[in-house]
Amino acid sequence: MKIGFIGAGGVAQTLAAGYLAKGYQVMLGTRDVSKLAAWLDADGRGAQAGSFAEAGKFGDVVFLSVPAGAIEAAVQAAGKSDLGSKVVIDLTNPMDFSQGVPPKFTATIGNSLGEKVQKLLPDAKVVKAFNSIGVAVMTDPVFDGEAATHFIAGNDDGAKAEATKLIEEFGWDVVDVGGIDQSFFLEALASLWVNYAFKTNHWTQAFKLLKR
Domains of the chain, start order: 2-200 (3.40.50.720)
Task: Flag residues of the chain having pLDDT under 50.
Answer: none
Contact 139, 206 (CB under 8 A): no
pLDDT for the residue 135: 96
Yes or no: say if 58 and 85 are a contact pair by the CB < 8 Å rule: no
**DSSP 3-state assignment of 119?**
helix
| The predicted structure's pLDDT at residue 62 | 98
State the amino acid at position 142 in one-letter form: V
Residues with Cβ within 8 Å of residue 43, at least 6 apart in sequence:
13, 17
Position 112, amino acid: S
d(C-alpha 117, C-alpha 128), whole Å: 10
Q: Is the pTM of this model over 0.75?
A: yes
Q: Residue 61: its pLDDT value, please?
A: 98
